[in-house]
Amino acid sequence: EYTLDSQKSKVVVTRDLGTDVLGRLSENPFVDMVVWPQDCLCDRDWLLENVEGADGLVVMLTDKAGIIKWNLSRSYVMDTAGANLKVVSTMSVGYEHVDLAGLAKRGVRLGYTPDVLNDAVADLSVMLALMAGRNGGEALVHVKNGEWPNDSWSPFSWCGSQLSGTAGRPRTVGFLGFGRIAQATLNRLVGFGISRCVYTTRIGSLPKRDLEESLTEKYRGVNPAFEGVRHVDLKTLARESDVLFVLAPGGAETRHVVDEELLREMKRTSVLVNTSRGSLVDSDALAKALRQGWIWGAGLDVVEGEPNISADHPLVQEPRCVIMPHIGSATFATRKDMANLAVTNVLAVLSNEPMVSEKSV
Ligand code: DGY
């Protein structure tokens, strides 16, 4: 544990993270912890009342939605906190909801929670690839609506696109963004007999040649037919992928990188999976692609504008679009690790120690 100054530090937490995790703050004699007491989005007036004089702020990825709903600028929260504020710690790997420029201007540091959620999000990415490829969304609704008894089996009913590959039917997976979650997803897919992996990285960043070589060698050991991991441009990624996983950070730089032009390049049998941020995919273009059959299906854990996604949203209306309400990291073990890491990051700053996971702003 960390040794804090004998002077008390105020830490405001915008959600109840459970007694185990919050006990690390509440039982610390040098921390004055204030927690939003309800299990719903933290209230605007409560936050502004309580954030004053805070040294640390633990926030959730949903807090941006709340702040927009309150029609309140993000820097206003920081202004109200005042000069004591040293650290904002988000319980998420993504930081699209955080005003990076505002933090930088005030010299406030940012903690986040990478790595601990890699496996949970990779699991969900594979699940969405399978569900979207195999008509999982529609098939579930069919049974739930009691329609199965009226539906006689036929040789080609409910057929979809197959994720696994064989020697005679090679499969290529593509990654838009090739960080830790993408690599954990690839690791799972090798067991499905996929034979090739293509990826793109941020514009201007170099191909990861050493990584390509080491992964190719490793996966050839598992599947001798595995041809390798290769960096390609965006158009080639779209053209070659049987399943295209979108796993890059959100923000202005990547907004709508999956647009109509890119979707038109994809195979008619391909599946798009997005488990990163909704802003990377142009929802209208994707709905059009699904409606007009440019691609087979889509599996989304995130949608631009979430959580305000109503039943008449064009993507919700698409039968081959499987949508989950941003549950990528939602396993008990992972969420607890994320909550603990968020608290650890705050305590580290308040004790003048390096953060375990700091995002430079
Ligand atoms: C994150 O932590 O940013 C993820 O989106 C949570 O699932």
pLDDT tens, position by position, 236-264 = 999 999 999 999 999 889 999 999 999 99
Q: Distance between CA 170 and CA 133 in Å, rounded?
A: 16
Residue 1 lies in a domain: no
Which ligand 1 atom minimizes the distance to the CA of 338?
A: 2
**Which one, of 304, 290, 300, 308, lies nearest residue 324 by Cα?**
300
Q: Distance between CA 284 and CA 260 in Å, rounded?
A: 9
Query: Does the beta carbon of 61 sit less than 6 angstroms from any atom of ligand 1?
Result: yes
How many A from CA of 92 to the centre of ligand 1?
Answer: 5
**Which one, of 140, 133, 192, 195, lies nearest residue 320 by Cα?**
133
236 and 249 inside one domain: yes
**Which one, of 292, 295, 231, 243, lies nearest residue 267 by Cα?**
295
228 and 153 inside one domain: yes
Q: Which two tokens stand for residue 64?
A: 């941006």
136 and 100 inside one domain: no
Q: What is the pLDDT of residue 138?
A: 95
pLDDT-based confidence at residue 2 (cuts at 50, 70, 90):
confident
Mean pLDDT of 278-306: 97
Greatest CA separation found in the chain? 73
Q: Distance between CA 176 and CA 198 in Å, rounded?
A: 9
318 SS3 class = coil
| 263 touches 294 (CB < 8 A) | yes
How many A from CA of 146 to the centre of ligand 1?
Answer: 35
pLDDT digits (tens, 9 = 90+) for 297-339: 999 999 999 989 999 999 999 999 999 999 999 999 999 999 9
Residue 345 lies in a domain: yes
- CA torsion angle 16 17 23 25 (round to 10): -80
CA angle 356, 357, 361 (to 5 degrees): 135
229 and 259 inside one domain: yes
Q: Distance between CA 132 and CA 300 in Å, rounded?
A: 9
How many A from CA of 326 to the centre of ligand 1?
Answer: 8
Mean pLDDT of 87-100: 91
Which residues carry out catalysis?
277, 306, 326
User: Which structural domain, as residue segments, surrounds residue 98?
Assistant: 9-116+332-359
Residue 66 has pLDDT above 70, yes or no: no
pLDDT digits (tens, 9 = 90+) for 198-231: 999 976 677 889 999 999 999 999 999 999 999 9
32 and 73 inside one domain: yes
Query: Does the beta carbon of 329 sit less than 6 angstroms from any atom of ligand 1?
Result: yes
Provide the ipTM.
0.96
143 and 267 inside one domain: yes
How many A from CA of 28 to the centre of ligand 1?
Answer: 28
292 and 200 inside one domain: yes
**Domain CATH for 195:** 3.40.50.720
156 and 286 inside one domain: yes
pLDDT digits (tens, 9 = 90+) for 228-241: 999 999 999 999 99
Which ligand 1 atom minimizes the distance to the CA of 113?
A: 2
Q: What is the pLDDT of residue 167?
A: 83
How many A from CA of 266 to the centre of ligand 1?
Answer: 27
Catalogue the E-assigned strands of 62-220.
87-90, 109-111, 172-176, 196-200
Which ligand 1 atom minimizes the distance to the CA of 327?
A: 7
Residue 288 has pLDDT above 60, yes or no: yes
Which ligand 1 atom minimizes the distance to the CA of 276?
A: 5
Mean pLDDT of 33-51: 90
Give the count of domains, the chain: 2
Q: What is the pLDDT of residue 198?
A: 97
For the chain, the 3-state helix, strand and coil shares in percent, each to the nearest 5, are: 40, 15, 45
Query: Does the beta carbon of 322 sit less than 6 angstroms from any atom of ligand 1?
Result: no
Residue 44 lies in a domain: yes
193 and 284 inside one domain: yes
Mean pLDDT of 17-21: 96
Q: What is the pLDDT of residue 73?
A: 60
Residue 20 has pLDDT above 80, yes or no: yes
Q: Name the percent of the chain lying above pLDDT 90.
A: 80
pTM for the full predicted model: 0.93
Q: What is the pLDDT of residue 69?
A: 47
Query: Does the beta carbon of 328 sit less than 6 angstroms from any atom of ligand 1?
Result: yes
93 and 124 inside one domain: no
Length of the chain: 361
